Amino acid sequence: MSSRIEPITGRYVHLEIEGRPYRIYFEEAGSGIPLLCLHTAGAHSSQYRHLMCDSAVTDRFRVIAFDLPWHGKSNPPEGWQDEEYKLTSSFYVAAVEAFSEALDLDRPVVMGCSMGGRVVVRLALEKGAALRGVIGLEGSDHPSPWYDNSWLESPEFLRGDFCAALVSGLVAPQSPDEFRWETLWHYYQGGPEVFKGDMHFYRTDSDYARDSSTIDTGACPVFLMTGEYDYSCTPENTIETAKRIPGAEAIIMKEMGHFPMSENPAAFREQLLPVLARIAGKD
Amino acid sequence: MFDCLTDAVASRPHLRHIGRYMRSAFLLEVGDTPYHVTVENGAVSAVEVGPFKMRSWDFAIRAPREVWETFWSDAPPPGYQDLFAMTRYGHARLEGNTAPLLHNLRYVKELLALPRTLRQEAGK
């Protein structure tokens, strides 16, 4: 009788992305300003479970996270068995837009991590007027690969335990073991070569550096929050990006790695709450 | 340094299990000192200290002694917490055939960290 039940609810929505139907899983908690959260490559929306159980966030924000097609509990499209999954920049933007429309979200704040922290730059560029702001976690406006492209041809990308080991060093040494390994478990769970398919977007199809200076941060504030231990999107990558976007703010988080919301939720909320308060206060 | 690997792995059945598909020999260089490590089905069957004359290996990880010592500290500073952090920032070099490394990535990463793990366990 004393079991703890979290306030998170999970449901499915049917929508179209680039003309194809998808069954998309999403979770949410709270009410107020929509805060749409985008998971990292090869992972799923559970990365945001701590925020959804934090009343300091959910009192003022409706926190929503969906699994991209092929990820978590969202299906790949019908016919997937004869296709190679490759995430493109245009598909990613269309997916966020389709989901936002399907749930009728009114000027959401979009917060994404890693590849999600990359795509928010394009969202701010092209859809900024329809957004209340973007938060790029471990985000930058252009790719900065840290391993050779030939590695992507390795059969290891079929294996979740390899994907986990590839990213394991991106978790800060200070992050609690429980959450380090939960964060890595999301990578163990990924479908074969889904992480690799996301790398198409992250490594080759997401260079927004040429245009990012045209973002209107008056209409759509841009916050870039990066952990000092992140060697995938380095603090330098983030600071350079913030310098290119007039009005963007870079926050470098001490003792934090590449997965702030899931690797060290207690430390992350201390950094995030002031940012959310500023976005909410602007309204 | 890496002399500890054979015994440390022998007393860790789960680590041996993680590396059970690995058969490889690789080189770990600490400053000028090369350690030649042979892994057979998850057991570290030999750790030999060089210099060697044209000894064969699959891959090599080379870094100055200070870099390894920083890597083995309790909370390594940013850039030193992981093999790939150290290669990204140029503190360490990875050479050779990376296939056996990638195939056994978690296992090798845990081997590299064993000097830190052992010291932390001894301190408890």
CB contact under 8 A, A156 and B98: no
**Predicted local confidence at residue A283, as pLDDT:** 64
> Average model confidence (pLDDT) for chain B?
97
Question: For position A2, what pLDDT does the model report?
Answer: 87
Q: Does the pLDDT of residue A171 top 90, yes or no?
A: yes
Q: Which positions in chain B touch A165 (Cβ < 8 Å)?
A: 105-106, 109
Contact B106 A165 (CB under 8 A): yes
Q: Do B81 and A168 touch (CB under 8 A)?
A: no
Among A154, A173, A231, beta carbon nearest to B102? A154
Average pLDDT score, chain A: 97
**pLDDT tens digits along A47-98:** 999 999 999 999 999 999 999 999 999 999 999 999 999 999 999 999 999 9
Which residues, 6 or more positions from A162, have their beta carbon under 8 angstroms from its beta carbon?
A: A156, B102, B103, B105
- Which percentage of chain B shows pLDDT scores above 70? 100
* Interface touch B79/A146, C-beta < 8 Å: no
Which of chain B's residues have a Cβ under 8 Å away from the Cβ of A156? 102-103, 105
Pick from A151, A168, A169: CB nearest B102: A151
* Interchain proximity B85–A173, CB inside 8 Å: no
What's the mean pLDDT in A135-160?
96
Q: Which chain A residues contact residue B76 at CB under 8 A?
A: 173
Q: How far apart are CA A258 and CA A116, in angstroms?
A: 12
pLDDT at residue A88 in the model: 98
Quote the minimal CA–CA distance from A181 to chain B in Å: 12
Indicate yes or no: CB of B109 within 8 angstroms of CB of A169. Answer: yes
ipTM confidence = 0.97
CB A183 within 8 A of CB A145: no
Structure confidence by residue, pLDDT tens digits, A248-269? 999 999 999 999 999 999 999 9
Q: What are the strands of the beta sheet with B33-40, ordered from one edge?
A: B43-49, B33-40, B23-30, B59-63, B93-96
Q: What is the average per-residue pLDDT within B104-110?
A: 98
Contact B75 A161 (CB under 8 A): no
Half-sphere exposure of A250 (CA within 13 A, CB side): 23
Three-class secondary structure of residue A186 per DSSP: helix
At residue B124, the pLDDT reads 83
Q: How confident is the model at residue A1 (pLDDT cuts 50, 70, 90)?
A: low
The stretch A182-207 carries a mean pLDDT of: 98
From chain A residues 229-258, the ones with a CB under 8 A of any chain B CB are 229, 231, 234-235
